Structure 1
Amino acid sequence: MLACARAVQAVRSGRSLSDALAATPAPLRAATQAISFHVMRRLGLATEIKSLLVKRTPPNPLFDALLQVSLALLDTAMEASLPDAPANTSQEPVYAVHTVVNQAVRAAEMPAMRPYKGLLNAALRRFTRERPGILTQARRNPVAKWNYPLWWIKRLERAYPDQWQALLQAGDRPGPMTLRVNTRRASVHEMIERLAEAGIQSEPIGEAGLVLAHARPVHEIPGFDEGWWSVQDAAAQQAAVLLRPFDGALVLDACSAPGGKAAHVLERARVGLLALDNDAGRLERVQQNLDRLGLQADEVRLQCADAAESSAWWDGRPFDLVLADVPCTASGVVRRHPDIRWLRREADIARTAALQQKIIAALWKTVKPGGRLLYATCSIFPQEGEQQAQRFLDMHPDAERLPAPGQILPLPDAGGRALYDGFFYALFAKRA
């Protein structure tokens, strides 16, 4: 629990949960990640409950984070102990009430927090006695009710007046584990059979996707080391399909890391590919992924460069196909990265939209007449999606918009499952 409190404290100070977990000792990392994700999805409520129980929080950030972690877990534990509680099908951690209280108090034994151990114990035991009334009062605050920043809630309500509540709720449910079969090495049918032999249930989605019934570590799934598949959400798998790569095409993947979409392009056709990214460390992951999948060849080139500064990397040869999976707020993948909602600020939307506009304007110059550019973001904010696409058309009279999904929302289907992350796609052809 103390490792989780440190992770939560890191997020509250502006660090990503991924970075915080990387600093967690390896034996604790998996459990810490599971608990931290759970807490991130309930942090608004835990923060409001804390303010009701403790009027003056001690000036110790780690204690404050421990109290929030404890309250989030305790509320879940008490809900699960109710006679009519639904079965836990989310694979999120649920502990017994006494376990949460005991582990929290034990975590407060460290010297820096020992003076506040009694306060922690009293707050948790009061919550166990008065939970219904405290919850009623806490949930009057929209941030506590929905577990998102208020600005995020209001923006979704304006953009999706009939769906905003469902979108907020969907972001609190872990997404499924989806694989993309490397069809250069195996067929979808072969992969289904191999998974079944290992006792892993899966079902096809899209052209090369498989949704697993239950997530598990990649090395427990057959075929990873052999390069038979990659982990990639079904929405992200649409990029290479929409781009329609063909043998001999010259392709640019402008914001490539970690390389999933570049690999998918190479799995579909034998192309000349330039993969750009402005982060050398992340570009190494592209290389590693291509090597594992057996896709590295002379016609694949990786380059560390800023996509918006084409004069620094473009040799003047126009591309047949350009994939612009541009930086964004990542609001569409919050179910997989629940810390995003607490790390983002409302002003980030305008900043990323301005950067996106700069990048795609630069990339459009590199597209050959008759070529295509696919604009993609893992966002559900219209400023980074449809509004950006319309602005691009207004500024580029030589662009023709082609059929593409537009905004994909991470909402449950008729069976109650949300199989897609939030994504936006717009496809443009350059008039000859």
Structure 2
Amino acid sequence: MSQIHSSAKNLNLRAQVIKTLLAVQNGQSLTSVLNQHINIVSDRDRGLYHELTLGCLRQWHALKAITLPLLTKPLENDAVESCLYLGLYQLLCTRVPPHAAISETVTAAKQLGYEPLSGLVNAILRRVSRETEQFQTALEQAHGLPSWLYKRVKKDWPEHLEDLCKNLKQTAPLTLRVNERQVSRAEYLEILEEEQIDAHACELSDVGITLEQTGNITDLPGFEAGGFSVQDEHAQLCATLLPNLDDQVVVDACAAPGGKLAHILERFNPKKIIALDHDAKRLLRVAENLERLELNEHANVEIITADATKWTAEQPVDCIVLDAPCSAIGVMRRHPDIRLLRHSTDIEKTVDLQKKILAHMWQQLKVGGTLLYVTCSILKVENEQQMVNFFAEHADAKEIKIEANWGLTQIHGRQLLPETGYGDGFYYCRIEKIA
């Protein structure tokens, strides 16, 4: 498909970005290719590489919508399509000077072996640079979702549709969760102020802090000592929805990378907590996080690589946190590659897997115990509808309503939608076993 001739070292920054975009178009997740690709980029250019790659993915379908009318016939060339989107993104969304954006992107097309089409790229980018305002308006007005997803969101959230499309195109804020075993939120805010780092307390999470600026997390005061974790504000609500877990046996059924598990250990002293995940590599991160946060000394934590549809407890447990595998549409601002990687056909498979895990984990829960069902999706089929089906099939299950000043009440559970400047899309439903 691609005729990439030059060795990676000789490519300009735009060509490096295009190679990353092509990898995502070919179905690779950004996380899986990013480290390998960014190593070739000079330190000086890494910030721009990041911004261009993530920005292009975030605006991908909106850029596509405004590019189509500019083409006399379909391109059918992923690399050149990526060149155009990258050029448009720079012209419409960044401070890169137009002449640099155009010449660097045209050079990238040539370096990647598409010289015959570089004239087309040049012509289209020049036209857009002359009519920037019109195209900026068109870009803002485009919903920016793949059409299958747009239809689903429209069906699920007709009255929130416009806001949702707009909010999902923004970047998500950087939010910390302070480790209360080490420092209070007020104290940590003072430490940040002394270091002249702009930050403010979150509204919904009582341990959350939003940073006004981005930077290297590991450089923040107290990182090595385990003073905080990075976690979305809406994800931080999970631990507040659980009963008192002191001296209880708890299962975190899909635990990696361990944010919710660590939060439980910061708040409670369970007798035992079992962290399950099918991905052994990601479970290593759980262990590393617990060590950095100094949470593994006082807690009885068992980390097990296991399939949550098959794993059985030695005896029924008191509480299960089930952060179910999902489409992750609610966290698309943080993982913009989801726009390209997720397909309509994935949803049914995911819903089916959630149902299997739910049914199996429910059998591991003791009577009187609590299961908290969580997803980072905004699709009702994975959330409200999944719960409607669960309650219809389990007479021994009773919903414990979440009384809260956040989110939208559903038939069962509560839904948080992604909001600009605030948290991501999360769904919570609390269930008690009554027989």
TM-score, normalised relative to structure 2 = 0.87
Structure 1 window deviating more from structure 2 (339-348 vs 286-295): it is 339-348
Q: Deviations over 1:87-141 (max 9, x none)?
A: xxxxxx43121121121122234161233332322221133345567788x77xx
Paired residues for 1:134-283 under 5 Å: 145-205=142-202, 206-271=205-270, 272-283=272-283
Task: Give 1:63 shift.
Answer: 2.9
In structure 2, the residue matched to 1:105 is 106
* Aligned-partner Cα distance in 1 for 2:102–2:254: 46
AA in 2 matched with 1:118: G
Matched letter for residue 15 of structure 2: L
Q: State the shift of 1:300 in Å.
A: 0.5
CA distance in 2, matches of 1:94, 1:409: 33
Shift of the alpha carbon at 1:159? 1.2
CA distance in 2, matches of 1:5, 1:34: 13
Q: Residue 245 and residue 103 in structure 1: after superposition, are their counterparts in 2 closer, same or farther (change >3 A)?
A: farther
Check the 8 A contact 2:309/2:361 in 1, yes or no: yes
Partner of 1:40: 57
2:142 match: secondary structure: helix
Task: Confirm or deny: 8 A CA contact 1:254 1:307 kept in the other structure.
Answer: yes
Say whether the 8 Å CA contact 2:15–2:112 is kept in structure 1.
Answer: no
CA contact (8 A) 1:407 1:422 kept: no
When residues 282 and 119 of structure 1 are mapped into structure 2, their CA distance, relative to the original with a 3 A threshold, is same
Unaligned runs of 5+ in 2: 1-13, 408-412
**Distance change >3 Å, CA 110–CA 57, structure 1 → 2:** farther
- Paired residue for 1:88? none
Alignment equivalent of 2:72, drawn from 40, 49, 55: 55
Contact 1:233 1:420 in 2 (8 A): yes
Q: Which amino acid aligns with 2:179?
A: N
- The size of the alignment, in residue pairs, is 405
Cα distance in 2 for partners of 1:315, 1:52 equals 58
Q: Contact conserved, 1:410 with 1:418, CA < 8 A, in 2?
A: no
After TM superposition, the structure 1 = structure 2 runs for residues 14-93 of structure 1, keeping only pairs within 5 Å, are 14-26=27-39, 27=43, 28-56=45-73, 60-76=77-93, 93=94
Partners in 2 of 1:94 and 1:358 — Cα distance? 49
Query: Counterpart in 2 of 1:81?
Result: none
The match for 1:393 is: 391
Counterparts of 1:134 and 1:228, CA distance in 2: 45
Pair 51,60 (structure 1): closer, same or farther in 2 beyond 3 Å: same
**Relative to structure 1, is the Cα distance of residues 41 and 258 closer, same or farther in structure 2, using a 3 angstrom cutoff?**
same
Offset at residue 264 of structure 1 (A): 0.5
Q: Deviations over 1:388-411 (max 9, x none)?
A: 111111111111101226343335
2:331 counterpart residue number = 333
Instruction: Letter of the 2:100 partner, please give it.
Output: T
- What is the CA RMSD across the aligned residues, in angstroms? 2.2
Q: For residues 96 and 410 of structure 1, do their structure 2 counterparts lie closer, same or farther at Cα, with a shift above 3 Å needed?
A: farther
Give the whole-Å Cα distance in 2 for the aligned partners of 1:333 and 1:145: 20
Contact 2:249–2:319, Cα closer than 8 Å, also in 1: yes
SS at match of 2:209: strand
Q: Are 2:125 and 1:118 aligned?
A: no
Classify 1:288/1:133 alpha carbon distance in 2 versus 1 (closer, same or farther; 3 Å): closer
Q: Following the alignment from structure 2 to structure 1, what is the Cα–Cα distance between the partners of residues 64 and 348?
A: 28
Task: Give the CA deviation at 1:18.
Answer: 2.0
The amino acid of 1:20's aligned partner reads V
- The match for 2:23 is 10
Once residues 29 and 129 of structure 1 are traced to their aligned partners in structure 2, the CA distance between those partners, rounded to angstroms, is 29
- C-alpha distance in 2, partners of 1:268/1:294? 13
Question: How far apart are the structure 1 equivalents of 2:264 and 2:211?
Answer: 23
Q: Give the residue type in structure 2 aligned to 1:73.
A: Q
Alpha-carbon displacement from aligned partner over 1:135-192 (angstroms, at most 9, x marks no partner): 88x77xx9x8111111211211111111111011001111111111111111111111
2-structure distance, mates of 1:333, 1:364: 26
User: Counterpart amino acid of 1:16?
Assistant: S
Residue-by-residue CA offset, 1:67-104 (whole Å, 9 max, x unaligned)? 2211222233xxxxxxxxxxxxxxxx431211211211
1:49–1:135 CA contact under 8 A, matched in 2: no
Instruction: Quote the sequence identity (%).
Output: 37
- Letter of the structure 2 residue corresponding to residue 127 of structure 1: V
Which residue is equivalent to 1:422? 425
Query: Post-superposition shift, 1:240?
Result: 1.3
CA apart distance, 1:57: 6.1
Closer/same/farther in 2, CA of residues 369 and 188 from structure 1, 3 Å limit: same
**Is the Cα–Cα contact under 8 Å of residues 45 and 72 in structure 1 kept in the other structure?**
no
In the alignment, is the contact (CA less than 8 A) between 1:253 and 1:275 conserved in 2?
A: yes
Matched AA of 1:116: L
Compared CA separation, residues 249 and 287, structure 1 to 2 (3 A): same
**Runs of 4+ in structure 1 over 6 Å off:** 132-136
In the alignment, the residues of structure 2 paired with residue 61 and residue 103 of structure 1 have an alpha-carbon distance, to the nearest angstrom, of 18
What residue in structure 2 maps to residue 292 of structure 1?
Answer: 292
1:211-238 residue CA offsets vs partner (Å, 9 max, x unmatched)? 1222322023111111000000111111
Distance (whole Å) between structure 2 residues aligned to residue 111 and residue 424 of structure 1 = 43
- Corresponding residue of 1:303: 304
Q: Is the Cα contact below 8 Å between 2:234 and 2:424 reproduced in 1?
A: yes
- Paired with 1:341 and 1:10, the residues of 2 have a C-alpha distance of 14
CA distance in 2, matches of 1:390, 1:110: 54
Aligned partners of 1:354 and 1:29: how far apart in 2?
40
Tell me which amino acid in the other structure corresponds to 1:74.
L
CA contact (8 A) 2:58 2:339 kept: no
Using the alignment, how far apart are the partners of 2:134 and 2:201 within structure 1?
46
